[in-house]
Amino acid sequence: MPNALSLNQLSISELTGRLARREISAREITQACLDQIARVDGTVHAFISHDPADALAQADAADRDLAAGVTIAQKPLLGIPIAIKDVLAVKDHPLNCGSKILGKFVSPYDATVIEKMRAAGAVIFGRLNMDEFAMGSSTETSAFGITRNPWDPARIPGGSSGGSAAAVAADEAIATLGTDTGGSIRQPAALCGCVGLKPTYGRVSRYGLTAFASSLDQIGPFTKNIADSARLLGVISGLDPRDSTSVDVPVPDYVAALDGNIRGLKLGVPKEYLIGGLDPEVKASVDAAIQQYLALGAEIVDISLPHTDYAVATYYIVATAEASANLARFDGIRYGQRVDGADPLELYTRTRGAGFGAEVKRRIILGTYVLSSGYYDAYYLRAQKVRTLIRNDFLAAFKQVDAIITPTTPTAAFKIGEKSGDPLQMYLSDIFTISCNLAGISGISLPCGFTTNPKLPIGLQLLGQPFGEATLLKLAHAYEQSTPWHREKPGTLA
Amino acid sequence: MAATDIDVKYVAHLARIGLTPDEEATMSARLAGILGYIEKLKELDVTGVEPTAHAVPMVNVLRPDVVRPSLPHEAALANAPAQANGLFLVPKIVE
């Protein structure tokens, strides 16, 4: 039976079902994504680059596996094209982190998440645009140009994983990977109307992820629905001897957790999230989602996260301090662009002055300052202590509730250029997502409605206990299946 | 100390980042705004609070002390901006 949707518009579970029944080939799926990129990426610019021949060769290998009798149970992503944020290493593919400084860098090895997805049969393709070194909330700081929101090309897709979100929303890939340090998966997922999951810190190996803030960074999936998010998380999770911060907690069957039964689960509504800048349409959609959860049998509990108002300030100390250390490696000696100098100091200073963009320079300098002699205690150590208070807020809340429900962002997607001149306003747009990383807990954003004029997606955020992804996905799935939002597609893109 | 006294030229030197005079001026203004905002952390009493460096407290994660394959020499040098004799080429360090 012909489907009204083309192959690139389908979900992982729909496609693997049709592949298993041999109704379609993996090559046809990859070709459908490549055709869509050719059609719309001139407008969206989700991709920095992609290699169609390499993607089709992987798809052909998946078709040979299928012909040889390999099953979806053995390889749960067999033949599924998945595109990758430009911060994750894919062997023999370019890696630029959205920056000029890496020059013509080509990854000499696969990140652990890439190895795992290859083993699961995925077609790994493309380099997705992002804010330079993941520092931004709009994908406007990329050295490779801006990405546009598929729902309104005059607006930002969010960031830093803006390319990852836009590619899924525009049906240029079936799923993508991104990274989340302060909301960089959940915020663009909300603004582009797809599902974005930030796993618990330590759930997914960071080996092969170019570090921004090592104590906050996590890799996670962007998908068209919750079942796909559960499937992809199951593939990429687990202990990795190459990342000493990955945690030895068993990986449950996340797909099996999606049983629709959320009766009696308790959802906390934090009073601190009713801030002044919250858009009335966003608030109305989240309030309606809370009512929907009540109708589905969940209990709603008022809670308090008293240190919420300090999260953005804490984040911009901790994250910049860690970034200033991590980005010291970009010195023009072993890889990337080099601007020569008379001595090593001059070489470093010129290379970094020419290679980094304004936002990255600003954050490295801020991070260097808060760690410098005389300021360490006043800024960095104090921020680490406030981080403890923020984490304790969440751990106390999770004694009362199974998950926390909030808007993902205070507003829908803003216009290109609207906040790029004011870094502090840009930082404050991350108010609802940032605490999750400081606390090291899990979080997900899923569609919960649209603004009316213009029509832009609104995201619902659920925050879960450390390693509570199964409960989070179960809750998200029950809501998704009882609402129409995830089936909506952006209008025709020029 | 006032938050706005950040000496951008000095901190940029510590960070090994060359800035043009224009960049220095913009950076000072922007950082003053951000540091002013960050001051709000001083409202909180953090006496007796332990700092959190990592959300999942783990110490001394060890692996067996055995030789494992590492990146081949040629692969490690493949992205070098300048190389000679199988080594990274750098400006003269010692006279």
Neighbour tally for A193: CB within 10 Å:
31
Please state the rounded mean pLDDT for residues A6-15.
97
Of A278, A274, A268, whose CA–CA distance to A308 is shortest? A274
> Is B54 inside a domain boundary?
no
Of A337, A342, A389, the CB nearest to B49: A389
Instruction: Kindly determine whether residue A336 and residue B54, on different chains, have CB atoms separated by under 8 Å.
Output: no
* CA dist., res. A432 & res. A283, Å (int): 13
Tokens read off for A74 = 């053995």
Nearest CA in chain B to A327: B15
Evaluate if residue A214 carries a pLDDT over 70.
yes
Alpha carbon of residue A105 to chain centroid: 23
> Is B95 inside a domain boundary?
no
Look over chain A and give the mean of its residue pLDDT values, rounded to a whole number: 96
* CA dist., res. A238 & res. A448, Å (int): 30
Q: CATH number of the domain that B14 lies in?
A: 1.10.20
> Helices A358-371 and B21-38, interaxial angle, to 10°?
60
ipTM of the complex: 0.94
Number of H helices, E strands in chain A: 15, 11
Q: Reply yes or no on whether A184 is catalytic.
A: yes
| Chain A partners within 8 Å of B26 (Cβ) | 358
Please state the rounded mean pLDDT for residues A182-209.
98
Tokens read off for B93 = 């360090």
- Strand, coil or helix: A182: coil
| Chain B partners within 8 Å of A334 (Cβ) | 76, 79-80, 88
Instruction: Identify the pLDDT of residue A422.
Output: 85
Total count of residues recorded for chain B = 95
Per the CB < 8 A criterion, the answer to whether A86 and A127 are in contact is yes
When pLDDT is cut at 50, 70 and 90, the band that residue A226 belongs to is very high
Nearest CA in chain A to B47: A385
Give chain B's domain count.
1
Instruction: Kindly determine whether residue A423 and residue B80, on different chains, have CB atoms separated by under 8 Å.
Output: no
Q: Which of B16, B24, B61, B62 to mutate to test the interface with A (most CBs of A within 10 A)?
A: B16
When pLDDT is cut at 50, 70 and 90, the band that residue A405 belongs to is very high
Q: Which of A105, A317, A366, A376 to mutate to test the interface with B (most CBs of B within 10 A)?
A: A366
Instruction: Kindly determine whether residue B30 and residue A423, on different chains, have CB atoms separated by under 8 Å.
Output: yes
Shortest Cα distance from B29 to chain A (angstroms)? 11
> Is B10 inside a domain boundary?
yes
When pLDDT is cut at 50, 70 and 90, the band that residue A462 belongs to is very high
Instruction: Kindly determine whether residue B88 and residue A333, on different chains, have CB atoms separated by under 8 Å.
Output: yes
Share of chain A above pLDDT 90, in %: 95
Please give the domain boundaries of chain A with CATH numbers for all domains. 7-306+390-487 (3.90.1300.10)
* CA dist., res. B47 & res. A141, Å (int): 38
Instruction: Kindly determine whether residue A372 and residue B58, on different chains, have CB atoms separated by under 8 Å.
Output: no
State pLDDT tens for residues A252-265.
999 999 999 999 99
Of A172, A130, A129, A174, whose CA–CA distance to A150 is shortest? A172
* CA dist., res. A191 & res. B86, Å (int): 48
* CA dist., res. A209 & res. A188, Å (int): 19
Please state the rounded mean pLDDT for residues A331-337.
96
Instruction: Kindly determine whether residue B51 and residue A385, on different chains, have CB atoms separated by under 8 Å.
Output: yes
CB within 8 A of A308, min separation 6: which ones? Answer: A270, A272, A273, A390, A393, A431, A435
State pLDDT tens for residues B18-61.
999 999 999 999 999 999 999 999 999 999 999 999 888 777 88
> Is B14 inside a domain boundary?
yes
Q: Reply yes or no on whether A116 is catalytic.
A: no
Nearest CA in chain A to B46: A385
> Is B35 inside a domain boundary?
yes
Shortest Cα distance from A494 to chain B (angstroms)? 37
A85, A116, A198, A419: which is the annotated catalytic residue?
A85
When pLDDT is cut at 50, 70 and 90, the band that residue A277 belongs to is confident
Nearest CA in chain A to B34: A424
Instruction: Identify the pLDDT of residue A464.
Output: 98
Q: Which of A360, A368, A377, A380 to mutate to test the interface with B (most CBs of B within 10 A)?
A: A368
Instruction: Identify the pLDDT of residue B1.
Output: 40
Q: Reply yes or no on whether A85 is catalytic.
A: yes
When pLDDT is cut at 50, 70 and 90, the band that residue B5 belongs to is low
Does the pTM surpass 0.90? The reply is yes
Which residue(s) pair with A218 in the sheet? A180
Give the pairing of strands B87-88 and B83-84: antiparallel
Instruction: Identify the pLDDT of residue A2.
Output: 44
For every residue of A352-391, DSSP letters joined together read: HHHHS-HHHHHHHHHHHHHHSTTTIIIIIIHHHHHHHHHH
| Chain A partners within 8 Å of B45 (Cβ) | none
Of A201, A333, A366, the CB nearest to B31: A366
| Chain B partners within 8 Å of A108 (Cβ) | 71, 75-76, 78-79
When pLDDT is cut at 50, 70 and 90, the band that residue A1 belongs to is very low
Residue A379: what residue type? Y
Instruction: Identify the pLDDT of residue A494.
Output: 54
Q: In what order do the strands lie in the sheet with A47-49?
A: A47-49, A123-128, A81-85, A175-180, A218-223, A195-198, A442-450, A457-464, A403-407, A266-270, A299-303
Range of the domain at B18: 3-43
Neighbour tally for A141: CB within 10 Å:
25
State pLDDT tens for residues A151-169.
999 999 999 999 999 999 9
Tokens read off for A375 = 């300021």
A25, A138, A142, A160: which is the annotated catalytic residue?
A160
Distances (CA, A) of A36 to A145, A276, A489, B64: 20, 40, 14, 48
> Is B93 inside a domain boundary?
no
Tokens read off for A69 = 């009798």
When pLDDT is cut at 50, 70 and 90, the band that residue A86 belongs to is very high
A184, A229, A420, A435: which is the annotated catalytic residue?
A184
Residue B69 CB-density burial (10 A; 0-12 exposed, 13-18 middle, 19+ buried): exposed
| Chain B partners within 8 Å of A332 (Cβ) | 81
Of A105, A354, A384, the CB nearest to B51: A384
